[in-house]
Amino acid sequence: HILKRDYESAFWIYVAKPFEGEDAREVREILWETRDVKFGLRELPKYLRYERSLLQCLREGKNEREALLSLPENLKIMFIHAYQSVIFNNVLSDRIEEFGNLKVVEVGDWVDFVNTNNYYTFRGEFVRVRSHNYKRVRFLIEKGLCSLAIPLPGYETDLGDDWTSERVKFYLERDGIDLRDFKHEFKEFSSRGSFRIADIIIEHTNLRYEKDGNVTFNFYLPKGCYATVFLREFVKKPLA
């Protein structure tokens, strides 16, 4: 909604839209239906400080856009990053369903290469797969020295007619978003676009059983990866 400049919808979704499993669900449901600012300030838990801060802005006479702009800069940036992550996750799931795994690349895909130093990190030098480098990219992927990358859309993103680009365009069109929408009049809501590695290389893992029955799991993940998501694949339940 922010990319569409629909600040009113963005405001109330952030402040009041209820979601499963939270303590404040019932309060949010009422607030979502009533848009009662005084009720929200009275009933929302104190720990929801950003939601309460936004409501306070309305109470002071500001509009929804002005309220959102009052948030800390790092939080405002996260709104756009969150939408880019939704696109990434959808395309990633589609890619696995279509190709069976993330080791398959086609001409037109993007890849990044591994720095083989103390820990595995990626260079951040994203290269498009072309006919002249296709065989070498395939070889490097098989050796664990290269990985598929998926675009995080922005106003400088170069989408082609390859499979991944078409899926990114599909989700943008579904949401009524144009790449030019990412060039926002407020820089916190702008993004040039970037890439995210689709298939991480996990190294330096060590599983140790302790005498007290606990398990110590040492591992290293590249930048931008979430340890909780990685561990969830082993314990098979949500992690706090």
Using one digit for the tens of pLDDT, what is the confidence trace for 27-86? 999 999 999 999 999 999 999 999 999 999 999 999 999 999 999 999 999 999 999 999
- Residue 62: DSSP 8-state: -
pLDDT, tens digit (0-9, with 9 covering 90-100), for 127-176 = 999 999 999 999 999 988 889 999 999 999 999 999 999 999 999 999 99
- What is the pLDDT confidence band of residue 215, given thresholds at 50, 70 and 90? confident
- Whether residue 240 lies inside any domain: the answer is no
Same domain, 109 and 192: yes
Domain limits at 217?
203-235
Evaluate whether 55 touches 40 at the Cβ level (below 8 Å): yes
- Whether the pLDDT of residue 222 is over 90: the answer is no
Same domain, 186 and 97: yes
pLDDT, tens digit (0-9, with 9 covering 90-100), for 163-188 = 999 999 999 999 999 999 999 999 99
Query: How many whole angstroms separate alpha carbon 173 and alpha carbon 24?
Result: 33
pLDDT at 77: 92
pLDDT, tens digit (0-9, with 9 covering 90-100), for 184-212 = 999 999 999 999 989 877 766 777 777 78
Same domain, 29 and 143: no
Same domain, 230 and 178: no
- Whether residue 116 lies inside any domain: the answer is yes
Sequence-distant (6+) residues with CB within 8 A of 139 are none
Same domain, 79 and 169: yes
- Whether residue 96 lies inside any domain: the answer is yes
Output phi, psi for 184, to 5 deg. -90, 150
- Whether residue 180 lies inside any domain: the answer is yes
- Whether the pLDDT of residue 233 is over 80: the answer is no
Same domain, 211 and 190: no
Under DSSP, is residue 133 helix (H, G, I), strand (E, B) or coil? coil
Query: How many whole angstroms separate alpha carbon 122 and alpha carbon 25?
Result: 41
pLDDT at 66: 96
pLDDT at 217: 80
- Whether the pLDDT of residue 237 is over 70: the answer is no
- Whether residue 63 lies inside any domain: the answer is yes
Same domain, 175 and 94: yes
Same domain, 123 and 141: yes
Under DSSP, is residue 130 helix (H, G, I), strand (E, B) or coil? coil
- Whether residue 2 lies inside any domain: the answer is no
Evaluate whether 88 touches 110 at the Cβ level (below 8 Å): no
Same domain, 120 and 16: no
pLDDT at 157: 94
Sequence-distant (6+) residues with CB within 8 A of 116 are 145
Same domain, 86 and 183: yes
CATH of the domain at 150: 3.30.2350.20
Same domain, 78 and 176: yes
- Whether residue 132 lies inside any domain: the answer is yes
- What is the pLDDT confidence band of residue 24, given thresholds at 50, 70 and 90? confident
Output phi, psi for 61, to 5 deg. 100, 0
What total number of domains does the chain contain?
A: 3
Evaluate whether 18 touches 32 at the Cβ level (below 8 Å): yes
- Whether the pLDDT of residue 238 is over 70: the answer is no
- Whether residue 211 lies inside any domain: the answer is yes
